[in-house]
Structures are given as structure tokens and as C-alpha cells.
Structure 1
Amino acid sequence: MKLEVLEDAKQLGVVAARRGAEAIRQAIAEKGQANIIVATGASQFETLSALIAEPDIDWSRVTGFHLDEYLGLDDQHPASFCRYLRERFVEHVPLKQFYYVDGTSDDPHLVCSELGRLIQDHPIDVAFVGIGENGHLAFNDPPADFETTEPYLVVELDEACRKQQAGEGWFATLDDVPKQAISMSCRQILKSTTIICSVPDRRKAEAVQKSLEGPVTPEVPASILQSHEGTTLFIDKSAAALLTSSTFSD
């Protein structure tokens, strides 16, 4: 895993998007198409905004996959990740196809199976992801399942994760935050050729430090990115606040 520290969230988004766009263009040039994973949340605002403005991407050759979604949340709810992706990404670029996670289904395990079959037919070239305050990767809260090979899972959301969602203003109260979600698994994310991990904000500093400098452990799910050579972690100076000087010199 490589590290880039930027001045602020806006600069982070521009640089991360540029790097992701380069990888998308390369995949299209080499294979005639590209498959990507798109994350949501406050950490992705600047990256996605910059990505849709990147020039010379033939989006008609790009297929996208949704990373995770709450269970039981209407897709018109302000916190719906389906709504987020429609409004911030999908409606802005003429994609070949985008596969959403349907969190409203009566059979979430069937949703996981269907998405799993689809993603196995679309090897991922670029994954845009973030890291949660509790160190989660997608909605894989600690302790994450590092062993499963299932592409998508039904997961339980821990209290720290749910507090983050309420704290960011997506929900009025903690009680309003769903307790379950569908998430892409850690192993599936690691199958991506390139991983662009965008993590701005001081409140993510502890998770960044543990993910980057601590051991690879299910207790810090994003630490598994240390094992992926194609990952670049983009953070701003505030998110880097707890890193040791040796990390910057590596």
C-alpha cells in the first residue's frame, strides 16, 4: 500500500480522482472496457466530484458496482447510498451499466448471490473506497470476516459505525440508523487491480494510523489493504495527524 498526503480534502479528491481516472483509461485502452467499484459517504464527496469532471474517459465502456447499502432503507431516503450514487455519480456520466445494491429487497441473500455472479463476470479494474472511523472497509465492521470468498454479504453494523452515520448528519438519531447492511466483502475488494482509498478529516486519524501502521487484523478491517500492492491511500494533513514520521519516509 502506498501513501499520499495532501493539503486538504479538495486537493485529495482531485489527486485521487486523477489517479483513478488514469487507471480507468488504461483498462479501456488494454481491454476495451473497465469495471469499477464506487463507494459513498462524506469521505467520497471530493473524489467523486473530481472524477466526473475528468476528461477523456469513455464512460460508455465503464461498468460500475455499488460497494454497500443499508437494509430496509428506501432508496429515496437522504441517507440511501443508491440515492447518493445516482445524484453524485451515475446521473453525471453515461455509464455502460451500473449495478446497485438493492437494500429494499425482501431477500437480501438473493441480492448478494445475484451481485456476486455479476461481479465474477466483471473483474474489477479500479475500486474507489474509504475507511470508517471504526476502521471498517465498506460495511465490514470489526471484527471483519477476512476469510469468506463470497463477494457480497449481509452484515451487522456496530454501534461505532452507526454513530458515525448519525454524526455525519445522514440520520436524525442513532435509533434511525439501520442495524444491517449488504456489503462487498474484504476479499472481493482486494481482487481489484487498483484501489483508490480516499480518507480526509481529522476524525479518521486514529483509523488511518491503525490501518497503516498497525498489524493486519480483523479488528481493523481496512488494515487488510496493507497486503494489496495496487492500493494507494490518499489522506489530508488532518487525517495524517497521528502517523509517525517513519511512515512518511518509507
Structure 2
Amino acid sequence: MEKSFQIDNLSVKIYGQTKEMGAAAADYVTRKLKDAIEKKGRANLILATGASQFSFLEALQTKEIDWGKITVFHLDEYKGVSESHPASFRKYLKERILNKVAPKKIYFLNGDAPNLQLEINNYEEALKAHPIDIACIGIGENGHIAFNDPGVADFKDPKLVKVVELDEACRNQQLGEGWFPTFADVPKEAVTLTITAIMNCKAISCVVPDERKSRAVYNSLYRDISTSCPASILRTHPETVLFLDKGSASLIK
């Protein structure tokens, strides 16, 4: 680790290499899961997707964790996208970790459910029944957490799950990461956990690599806590660690 410091309640840890960053986040998440299992015999976990999570998920699946005692939720999904679509987050999580570790129970957000409102209601009830011990998230290039882009983010959202419109910066990020062939192919809407749902989690691991995220990281740490940069709210959470690599931390003095 190159540097560690705190801003408000937020712990920030900077690593020289992306792989080192991912391994450190996996260590932190593993400790939180084991603590929960030791205290109550089970743990509840939220996992994120996207290119930012590659190194973390690769490291997490190598840890000695009793996955048979863990219930997993995921953070968001495109509206109308089937699980077989290359960009599906359900497909991503199954292929990158869940099929390999076999958790006790998995709750997926089915963005193509025939009755989407019923799907959202059921997911909210499942979240209420399983208080989350640790959420694993990232920060988007526009400062979003989950799909709570600046235009739809609400720090006092009464909902835990909702359908949102994706802004142009968010959709360009999905295109730039290679999930879709053209901008027109990127969905305009998604189903997402709200900021309320994320902030309700007992602990949060936020993994943010790459220089393209450096401006969003800077704004999250040093600008006003505001929905213009939704991730800035993480500075108010009592147990959040932000894991950065050299690229994403490049604007930090």
C-alpha cells in the first residue's frame, strides 16, 4: 500500500497496482463476512459488476470463506436485458464468481421480468429480511454508485429498489468498457438498488481502479456532499473503505 488516510468517515487506501488493490479489498470483505458468520451463523452480501470489479472478484473467490452460509444480492441490472445477453450482470456474476463458490442463496434482479414492479417489490422484501453485512460497490465515471446517476440520485430515497434512466455519461462508460457494440445498443434504463439501500448496509467496500475514474474519485473526496456526485455520500457512512489504484488516485495530492 502506498498511502492510507481518512476524509470525514471514509477510509481511503491507495495501492500501486490494480491486482494489489483487488486483493486488499478481498481481504477486507472476507474479514467482514467471517465476523458476521461468527456472530450470527450467516452473512448477507451485495456484489457489483463491471470492469472495475475484475481484480477484486478474482481475489475473493480464492479466500477460505464458508459460502454455504452466505446469501448474495446484486446491485443493479439493465431493464429488459435477458440473462443470456453478454452485458447481463446476472451472467457476469455467475461466470466470474457465483458458479464457482456456490453461495447458500442468491437473489438476482431480473431486469427482464414480465412484471417488473412485482420483481422490485419482492427484491425489496428480500433485502429487508436480510440486512446486508457488507456491500461491494464501485464508482462510475460520472460519480454514480450502482445506477444512481447524478440526475436520479436521492440521498433520502424512500425506495430500496427502483427503475432509473441512465444518463449519457453512464451509457458511454458501458460502451467504452466493451459491453455493447454501439451507443444505441446501450439500454436507456436500469433497475438499481437506491442510495438508501446502499447506505443501510453495515459496511461498504468500494473498489475503484483506473485513471478514467480519477475525476470521479476526486469529486467524491473533495467536493461538497451532493447528488451532483452521488458517491460523495460515502463520506458519511460509518464503515466504508475506498480502495484505489495509482490511476484512480492520480488527482489526489
Shorter-normalised TM range = over 0.9
The one-letter code sitting in structure 1 at the alignment partner of 2:18 is A
5+ residue gaps in structure 1?
A: 245-250
1:170 aligned onto 2:175: no
5+ residue gaps in structure 2?
A: 1-9
1:185 aligned onto 2:213: no
The one-letter code sitting in structure 1 at the alignment partner of 2:22 is G
Query: 1:149 touches 1:188 (CA, 8 Å); kept in 2?
Result: no
The one-letter code sitting in structure 2 at the alignment partner of 1:70 is Y
1:12 aligned onto 2:12: no
1:203 aligned onto 2:212: yes
Query: 1:8 touches 1:200 (CA, 8 Å); kept in 2?
Result: no
Alignment match, 1:142: 150
Alignment match, 1:247: none
Number of aligned positions between the proteins: 243
Separation (CA, whole Å) in 2 of partners of 1:81 and 1:186:
19
The one-letter code sitting in structure 2 at the alignment partner of 1:99 is Y
Q: Cα distance, 1:241 vs. partner?
A: 0.8
From 106, 111, 125, the equivalent of 1:117 is: 125
The CA RMSD over aligned residues, in Å, is 0.8
Alignment match, 1:62: 70
Q: Cα distance, 1:107 vs. partner?
A: 2.5
Alignment match, 2:5: none
Query: 1:108 touches 1:154 (CA, 8 Å); kept in 2?
Result: no
- What is the 5 A alignment of 1:151-170? 151-170=160-179
Separation (CA, whole Å) in 2 of partners of 1:97 and 1:171:
30
From 37, 45, 53, the equivalent of 1:28 is: 37
Q: Calculate the TM-score normalised by the size of structure 2.
A: 0.95
Q: CA offsets, 1:132-161, max 9 Å, x none? A: 000000000013111212110110000100
Separation (CA, whole Å) in 2 of partners of 1:99 and 1:3:
30
Q: Calculate the TM-score normalised by the size of structure 1.
A: 0.96
The one-letter code sitting in structure 2 at the alignment partner of 1:119 is L
Q: Cα distance, 1:94 vs. partner?
A: 2.0
Alignment match, 1:48: 57
Alignment match, 1:126: 134
